[in-house]
Amino acid sequence: MSKLTGAEILLESLKHEKVKVIFGYPGGSVLPLFDKIYGRKELHFILTRHEQGAAHAADGYARATGEVGVCVATSGPGATNLVTGIATAYMDSVPIVAITGQVKTFLIGNDAFQEADVTGITRPITKHNFLVKDVSELAKTVKEAFHIARTGRPGPVLIDLPVDVQLASSEFRYPRQAEIRSYKPTLEGHAGQIKRIAKAIEKSKRPIFYIGGGAIISGANHELIELVERTHIPVTTTLMAMGAFPDTHPSSLGMLGMHGTVYANHAMQESDLIIAVGARFDDRVTGKLDEFAPHARIVHIDIDPSSVSKNVKVSIPCIGDAKRILKQLLRFVKTAPDIDEWLIKINGWKEKAPLKYTKDDKLRPQYVVEEIYNATKGEAIITTEVGQNQMWAAQYYKYTKPRTFLTSGGLGTMGYGFPAAIGAKIGKPDKVVFDIAGDGSIQMNIQELATAVLNKINVKIAVLNNCYLGMVRQWQELFYKKRYSYTYLNTCNCPDLVKVAQGYGAVGIRVTKKSEVRKAIERAIKEPNTVLIDFNIEKEENVMPMVPAGEAINRMIGGMA
Q: For 207-215, what is the mean pLDDT?
A: 98
Share the mean pLDDT of the chain. Answer: 97
- Comparing CA positions, the residue from 5, 29, 132 lying closest to residue 77 is 29
**pLDDT band at 104, cuts 50/70/90?**
very high
Start-end of H helices in 480-550? 497-503, 517-526
Above 90 in pLDDT, residue 336?
yes
**Residue 546, SS3 per DSSP:** strand
Question: Tens digit of pLDDT for each residue in 28-64?
Answer: 999 999 999 998 989 999 999 999 999 999 999 999 9
pLDDT at residue number 490: 81
Above 80 in pLDDT, residue 492?
no
Above 70 in pLDDT, residue 1?
no
Q: Domain spans of the chain?
A: 3-171, 191-352, 365-536
φ, ψ of residue 67 to 5 degrees: the values are: -95, 170
Question: Tens digit of pLDDT for each residue in 106-143?
Answer: 999 999 999 999 999 999 999 999 999 999 999 999 99
pLDDT at residue number 179: 86
pLDDT at residue number 2: 77
Cβ atoms of 104 and 77 closer than 8 Å: no
Sheet architecture: strand order including 531-536: 405-406, 381-384, 433-438, 460-465, 531-536, 507-511
Above 70 in pLDDT, residue 13?
yes
Collect all residues with Cβ–Cβ distance below 8 Å to 249 and sequence separation of at least 6. Answer: 225, 228, 235
- Comparing CA positions, the residue from 550, 561, 510 lying closest to residue 531 is 510
Looking at the domain covering 191-352, what would its CATH class be?
alpha beta
Q: How far is CA 204 from CA 198, 224, 273, 275, in A?
A: 10, 18, 6, 11
Identity of the residue numbered 135: V
Percent of the chain with pLDDT over 90: 97
Question: Tens digit of pLDDT for each residue in 531-543?
Answer: 999 999 999 999 9
User: Which DSSP state fits 377?
Assistant: T
388-396 and 470-479 helices, crossing angle to 10°: 100
Percent of the chain with pLDDT over 70: 99
Architecture per CATH, 365-536: 3-Layer(aba) Sandwich (3.40)
CATH domain 3-171 topology: Rossmann fold (3.40.50)
β-strands 460-465, 433-438 pairing: parallel
Question: Tens digit of pLDDT for each residue in 301-324?
Answer: 999 999 999 999 999 999 999 999
Above 90 in pLDDT, residue 442?
yes
- Determine the Cα–Cα distance for residues 284 and 269; give it in Å rounded to an integer: 14
Cis peptide before 545 (omega within 30 of 0): yes
The region, left, alpha or beta by phi > 0 then psi within -120 to 50, assigned to residue 104 is beta
**pLDDT band at 552, cuts 50/70/90?**
very high
**pLDDT band at 334, cuts 50/70/90?**
confident
Question: Tens digit of pLDDT for each residue in 146-171?
Answer: 999 999 999 999 999 999 999 999 99
Give the DSSP letter string of 66-124.
Answer: SSPEEEEE-STHHHHHTHHHHHHHHHTT--EEEEEEE--GGGTTTT-TT---HHHHHGG
Cβ atoms of 231 and 211 closer than 8 Å: no
pLDDT at residue number 561: 65
- Determine the Cα–Cα distance for residues 219 and 245; give it in Å rounded to an integer: 11
Question: Tens digit of pLDDT for each residue in 408-435?
Answer: 999 999 999 999 999 999 999 999 999 9
Above 90 in pLDDT, residue 78?
yes
**Topology match between the domains 191-352 and 365-536:** yes
- Comparing CA positions, the residue from 267, 276, 283 lying closest to residue 302 is 276
Q: For 238-246, what is the mean pLDDT?
A: 98
**Residue 187, SS3 per DSSP:** coil
Cβ atoms of 287 and 551 closer than 8 Å: yes
Question: Tens digit of pLDDT for each residue in 249-294?
Answer: 999 999 999 999 999 999 999 999 999 999 999 999 999 999 999 9
